[in-house]
Amino acid sequence: MNDIPQQHPHGAEAIAPGSQAALRAWNRERITEILEEHGTLTQAQLARISGLSPATVSNIVKSLESDGAVNRTPVTSSGRRALGISLTSDRSIAVGVDIGRRHIRLIAATRGREVLAERFVPLPVGHTAEKTLVVVGAEYTELLAETGRGQSDVIGIGVGIPGPIDQRSKHVVDGAILPEWVGIQAVPRLEATFGRPVILENDANLGALGEVSFGDHTAKRSLVYVKVATGIGAGIVIDGALLPGSIGISGEIGHMGLHTSDAICRCGNRGCLETVASTQTLLKQLRESGRTATKSEDIVELAQAGDLAAQRLLEDAGGAVGRACAHIANLLGPEVIVIGGPLAVLGESFLGPIRASMRRHSVPLIRETVGLEATSRGDQTEALGAVALVLRAPHNVQDLTAIRH
Ligand SMILES: [Zn+2]
């Protein structure tokens, strides 16, 4: 493959075999390092020094340019006019905040998608929005201090919430996993906390953005991220962009009726996917069978310890999630469906049943072409997606609120 550089400063084993994302990230880093060392260079010079093909260099430069990490200026090279590539002296960063039922995670990254700092705080279930705002504000100050940047360097803050968000009012709507946030003027309150512009987005949507911006799938144009957690939702990327739905709500697959259950769902309907496969459902069933299970980590631990009930529940849940994935695949035909949420760490013991059921319920060509994988960025995916939400905005704060429509 001509994209592999001749010399690898970290040793060839630093790239996981077959991992295109690792290779792209490495190439990007290499080009950035060369520009740091040499200053302005033409694309031809970059190709020569890096050992990468001109086409690869061109792609990396395009991607760095779209992130605002480099700019082009006219130069003369060997007596001919050319365009010089140089790093912007830009110190700006984007911050992503993932607010969950039991945690807050904050990540700060540059336009070049280098993660500078990360903070994680566990929170008690039922934390009020007021309390969360205080904690998140304090953590933001710490995060900024760790990056060595100032408040004016922050171009914006993406915030993910586990719940549907009506983008007309910017309100978290009823049905959210964080009922404490429903109806709150979330964006103004968050902007008052951070003192910077905020974009609010549903967590599964951010998972999808995280995968195509920071994960193993940066070359994908269509991807569906399915988050299986206390609730179940999907983020849909089509033609490289998030599918917002007409009012910002889409991918509510947790409420697909699957005819495998007739239990009443929190949405008021019967037999929704969540009544079979949400972690809340699994925990409840484990407790009913006499096991101690209060949080999603308990499901993972029981399954890994060989607990038969936990394994059986995961098989059933996987079967139902796989059926929903088959419907998504039949409908949208994405390149890949990525499974996120706390159960993704179980790997094939959870993905296996999903895969089998997805194959059974999808049409032949779809079954052969649509991939199914666990998230490549683990617990960070949504916070990274929140960073990406800001980085994908036009290069100035003023346009930030207009990017979704
Ligand atoms: Zn429902």
**Ligand 1 center to residue 235 CA distance, Å?**
17
* Inter-residue contact 261 to 276 (CB < 8 Å): yes
CA distance 106 to 104: 7
pLDDT at position 16: 55
Q: In angstroms, what is the span from residue 128 Cα to ligand 1's centroid?
A: 24
| Chain CA centroid to CA 241, Å | 13
Can you give the pLDDT at residue 400?
A: 46
Tokens representing residue 148 in the block = 């060595």
Q: Which candidate, 12, 11, 185, 176, places its Cα nearest to that of 99?
A: 176
Supply 210's token pair: 């995280």
Residues with Cβ within 8 Å of 34's Cβ and at least 6 positions away in sequence, in order, are 41, 46, 49, 50
Q: Assign 3-class secondary structure to 75-139.
A: EEECCEEEEEEEECCCCCEEEEEEECCCEEEEEEEECCCCEEEEEEEECCCCCCHHHHHHHHHHH
**Confidence at residue 239, expressed as pLDDT on a 0 to 100 scale:** 92
Displacement of CA 253 from its chain's centroid (Å): 17
5: CA distance to ligand 1 center in Å? Answer: 51
pTM, two decimals, is 0.79
Residue 388 alpha carbon to ligand 1 centre in Å:
30
Give the pLDDT of residue 76.
76
Separation of CA 275 and ligand 1 centre (Å): 7
Sign of CA dihedral 337, 340, 346, 350: negative
Task: For the chain, list residues with pLDDT below 50.
Answer: 1-15, 394-405
- The answer for residues whose C-beta is within 8 angstroms of residue 257's C-beta and 6 or more apart is 269, 270, 271, 272
pLDDT of residue 184: 83
CA of 255 to the centre of ligand 1 (A): 4
- Distance from residue 230's CA to the centre of ligand 1 (Å): 12
User: In the chain, what is the straight-line distance between the N-terminal and C-terminal CA atoms, in Å?
Assistant: 39
Q: In which element (H, E) is residue 233 found?
A: strand 232-238
Each residue's pLDDT tens digit, 253-304: 999 998 778 899 988 999 999 999 999 999 999 999 999 999 999 999 999 9
Gap from CA of 262 to ligand 1 centroid (Å): 11
Could you tell me the two tokens for 48?
């020569």
- What tokens does 206 get? 């951010």
What order of strands is seen across the sheet that includes strand 103-110?
Answer: 115-122, 103-110, 93-99, 154-161, 198-202
Q: Which two tokens stand for residue 81?
A: 């006019």
Helices (H) and strands (E) in the chain, counts: 13, 15
**Cα 34 to ligand 1 centre (Å):** 53
| Residue 272 CA to ligand 1 centre (angstroms) | 5
Q: Which tokens belong to 308?
A: 């038969």
Measured in Å, residue 218 CA sits from the centre of ligand 1 at 32
Q: How far is the CA of 268 from the centre of ligand 1 (A)?
A: 6
Only one residue has tokens 């394994």, namely: 311
Model pLDDT, residue 112: 79
Contact assessment for residue 272 and residue 256, using Cβ atoms and an 8 Å cutoff: yes
Taking the mean position of all CA atoms in its chain, how far away is CA 355? 21
CA 218 – CA 208 distance, rounded (Å): 11
Ligand 1 mean position, distance from CA 40 (Å): 56
CA of 373 to the centre of ligand 1 (A): 25
Q: Which two tokens stand for residue 128?
A: 């009020």
Which pLDDT score, from 0 to 100, does residue 315 have?
97
Ligand 1 centre to CA of 227 (Å) is 15
For residues 210 and 4, give the distance between their C-alpha atoms in angstroms, rounded to a whole number: 25
| pLDDT at residue number 72 | 86
Ligand 1 centre from 258 Cα, in Å?
Answer: 11
Residues surrounding ion ligand 1 at CB below 5 Å: 255, 265, 267, 269, 272
What is the 370 CA–ligand 1 centroid distance (Å)?
Answer: 26
Ligand 1 centroid to residue 393 C-alpha, Å: 33
What structural domains and CATH numbers belong to the chain? 12-87 (1.10.10.10), 93-207 (3.30.420.40), 218-376 (3.30.420.40)
Give the tens place of pLDDT for each residue, 27-38: 888 898 888 777
Closest to 231 measured CA to CA, from 190, 270, 273: 273
**Whole-angstrom distance, CA of residue 191 vs CA of residue 116:** 22
Reading the block at residue 159, the tokens are 């915030």
